[in-house]
Structure 1
Amino acid sequence: MKYKSVFDIIGPIMIGPSSSHTAGAARIGKVARSLFRRQPSWVNVHLFGSFAKTYKGHGTDVAIIGGILDFDTDDERIIDSIKIAEQQNMNIQFFEEEAVTDHPNTVRIHMGDERSEMELVGISIGGGTIEIIELNGFELKLSGEHPAILVEHTDRFGCIANVANLLAKHELNIGHMEVSRKEVGKKALMIIEVDENIDDEILAELEKLPNILAVTKIVD
């Protein structure tokens, strides 16, 4: 992992004690909240590796729930986030998993409500830097560092070009883009990081394109 500056190593302004176990965990929770678009009524948190061994001492548990409550890494309410979530009738469970993962700081968050549910896998790389590596069974690489959109679509010819052309029409530069699919011709997922936030009007245009199922924005 290459760091761009000393601040990537020191980590962000945060509630301690650890940039990887606390700030990174909070950021993973916050991205999960953004992807789900609302606060869930239940959350199952599966912790792997170092996360599973040290999550209580390093505050990984309260950090993840704080992120899901949409608290920033420096929000003092993170300390009491589990209590706050339970007061808001959120059902929370933590699971210490023994399976070996590619990265020691790995968490799988499964959450939902009466309308829908979502599952993602995130890793905390260090210095508060994270990656979301799986979403609802789709492999991806999402840093959370830049504004991004996730486009669920049917795997059809021309769909990716249509999305890229619409963004180009609005002079939005794509910094990173990848596509994941489970089966040819079935549901697929585009992950597009851009240089600036995307207006809701553009999202509405994207949703009207052929074979687009849903568009979700992640704000930097």
Structure 2
Amino acid sequence: MAEKQLEKEVAKLDVSIFEIVGPIMIGPSSSHTAGMARIGRMAKDIIGADLKRIQIALHPQIKSTFKGHETDVAIVGGLLGMREDDESIKDALKIAEKKNIDTMVSFLPSTYQNPNTVVLTVESDHGIISITGISIGGGSFKITDIDGKKVSFTGKTNYLFVNYTKKETENKIIKTLEADKALQEKQLGYGAIQTRNNYLFWLSFLNSMPGNILREIRKLDGVIDARISPPILSFGLSKQPHRPLFKSIRELMELAREQGSLFEAILKYETNRSGRTAKEIIDLMGTHLEIMQKAVDQGLKEEITLVTGLASGIDGKLLARSVENGNSISGDVLPTAISRALAVMEVNGSMGTVVAAPTAGSCGIIPGCLLTVKDKKNLSDFDVIRALIVAGGIGVTFAHAGVSFSGAVGGCQSEVGVSSALAASALVELVGGNPMQVAHAAALAIKNMLGLVCDPLGGPVEVPCIKRNAIGVANAFAAAEMALAGIKSVIPPDEVLLALKNVQSLLPSELKGSAMGGLACTPTARKFRGESNLCCVLDS
């Protein structure tokens, strides 16, 4: 590691509301599809050469589920330069084959703690390199290791990567960079490691780099290549790492009092951390709303073919038709919201375009709830955008509390549970509730979801994931109704988040997307996987 590596750590940058209500992505999984595609893209930029062979080593906990999540497809797509919302990513393996790039999948020892870990061993024109990444949840990620050397790349900033053959070249690179005073002010950190083939230098920086600097570095003796990697997570960033305007729900409530509303408080937070204007943030969230609406319309009006066909692909339509025919036993608001949630999840299960909120496995809940109330109360798109921004801000407090958004890390309480809480808070905001009601709606919703397990039958985000979004919708309405009536959580909201984090850690791995417990161990699930002799917890 370079002796003068700066201590400023990019991983400590503020969480964006678009990490909560987002990303826009191709389904079916935010952790195992979108997040893995982003790891692949970051690895591509680190490698900086034409690929010849890709070996993907995944955690054994997702051995039964990675195919249904298209994890290998997503990683290869990322290594080919495809974004997580690129329709062509579905054909990544075929494209790699046409380019004569060999791909293979293996599995890591179970000693790796995080089940969302992937180790990529890639042969390129620069030789062989090993890159370790972790999909954190909701599409976010971190690169943690290159050829056995610890690093920390989050994809939130610009990076300069330089490959070189002589160790002394490192000082020449640093002197070239130091010659530009303006660039020094943009630097977040730099470092260098020796890889198995040569040396790799990196610089994390804000905004842009003058073209002459890149040209000068490429001329240095021993330099093989130098390139700029733009942010993989393009949430905008204009400042050095600093303390966010809020981290906890309590702090958010205080900021809301100062700013006059939750919406204004969260808008200021995102403006402060991103450098974007309020209009730019509102417009971007408006784009997310458009994608949500399109997914609802597609799921209810078009023929949907799921990846495996394990679920029908018509459940959203069936429930919508039942409501239209007057067959609902609970009025028309709740079943309409559920039908829309099912429709969005069916689009996700067909590798369609959705907005993870905060995950793809729970992407139906927020649009199902908000778009239904919007229609029933004749509200505007801007009203919904406000509610989405508030939901994003509430989700930021979850992230700062250390809550995982990945079912493989914390069970489905991390996905459907969290999404239900965000939907509850957004519903309260949407109909004019006050900030404390918004906070208590989230807390009430989470309390009802503690312990919810992740037990998909064999990888596809279909069973029970699609219909489990329905209970997320129902729970969100229940929590919002209680909060609007003045009912409060006895346990303060911030403490509820600590409880959620605690239960996430206590759930056994068999109930975290491993296909080794719960519904995944039923005879029907085993038959689907062709694993009739698989030993499950159910056997005991």
The interval holding the TM-score normalised by the smaller chain is: 0.7 to 0.9
Which protein shows a greater Rg?
A: 2
Bigger drift between 8-17 and 67-76 goes to 8-17
What runs of 5+ residues in structure 2 fail to find an aligned partner?
Answer: 1-10, 232-540
Give the direction of change, closer, same or farther, for the CA distance of 1:125–1:88 in structure 2 (3 Å limit).
Answer: same
- Name the structure 2 match of 1:22: 33
Residue in structure 2 matching 1:56, options 53, 56, 67:
67
Where 2:121 maps in the other structure, the secondary structure is strand
Bigger drift between 66-75 and 168-177 goes to 168-177
Q: Kindly report which structure 2 residues correspond to 1:50-199, keeping only aligned pairs within 5 A, or say none.
A: 50-113=61-124, 116-152=127-163, 154=167, 162-168=175-181, 170=183, 173-180=186-193, 189-199=200-210
> Alignment length, in residue pairs?
216
Distance in 2 (alpha carbons) for counterparts of 1:115 and 1:213 = 9
Which deviations, in whole Å up to 9, do the C-alpha atoms of 1:76-115 show, x marking residues without a partner? 1111211221122221111022332142211111122455
Deviation at 1:179, TM superposition (A): 4.6
Matched to 1:154, the amino acid is K
Given that 1:23 and 1:63 are in contact with CA atoms closer than 8 Å, whether structure 2 keeps it comes out as yes
- Name the structure 2 match of 1:42: 53
Deviation at 1:140, TM superposition (A): 0.8
The structure whose residues are more often helix, as a share, is 2
Which deviations, in whole Å up to 9, do the C-alpha atoms of 1:56-88 show, x marking residues without a partner? 111111100111121111011111211221122
Given that 1:179 and 1:191 are in contact with CA atoms closer than 8 Å, whether structure 2 keeps it comes out as yes
Which deviations, in whole Å up to 9, do the C-alpha atoms of 1:146-182 show, x marking residues without a partner? 1111345626895575255134355651123345469
Distance in 2 (alpha carbons) for counterparts of 1:200 and 1:11 = 32
Distance in 1 (alpha carbons) for counterparts of 2:119 and 2:148 = 11
Where 1:154 maps in the other structure, the secondary structure is coil
Given that 2:49 and 2:124 are in contact with CA atoms closer than 8 Å, whether structure 1 keeps it comes out as no
Distance in 1 (alpha carbons) for counterparts of 2:208 and 2:103 = 32
Of structures 1 and 2, the one scoring higher in RCO (CA 8 A, sep 6+) is 1
Give the direction of change, closer, same or farther, for the CA distance of 1:28–1:174 in structure 2 (3 Å limit).
Answer: same
User: What percentage of residue pairs aligned between the two structures are identical?
Assistant: 31
Given that 2:176 and 2:216 are in contact with CA atoms closer than 8 Å, whether structure 1 keeps it comes out as no
Matched to 2:189, the amino acid is H
Matched to 1:6, the amino acid is I
Distance in 2 (alpha carbons) for counterparts of 1:62 and 1:158 = 39
Bigger drift between 106-115 and 167-176 goes to 167-176
Residue 218, structure 1, aligned to residue 229, structure 2:
yes
- Normalised to the residue count of structure 2, the TM-score between the two structures is 0.36
What runs of 5+ residues in structure 1 fail to find an aligned partner?
Answer: none
Bigger drift between 139-148 and 157-166 goes to 157-166
- Name the structure 1 match of 2:216: 205
Give the direction of change, closer, same or farther, for the CA distance of 1:191–1:122 in structure 2 (3 Å limit).
Answer: same
Which deviations, in whole Å up to 9, do the C-alpha atoms of 1:160-216 show, x marking residues without a partner? 75255134355651123345469xxxx764432111233443122234457867534
Backbone CA RMSD of aligned residues: 3.0
Give the direction of change, closer, same or farther, for the CA distance of 1:213–1:139 in structure 2 (3 Å limit).
Answer: farther
The structure whose residues are more often strand, as a share, is 1
Matched to 1:108, the amino acid is V
Where 1:108 maps in the other structure, the secondary structure is strand
- Normalised to the residue count of structure 1, the TM-score between the two structures is 0.81
Give the direction of change, closer, same or farther, for the CA distance of 1:167–1:13 in structure 2 (3 Å limit).
Answer: farther
- Name the structure 2 match of 1:33: 44
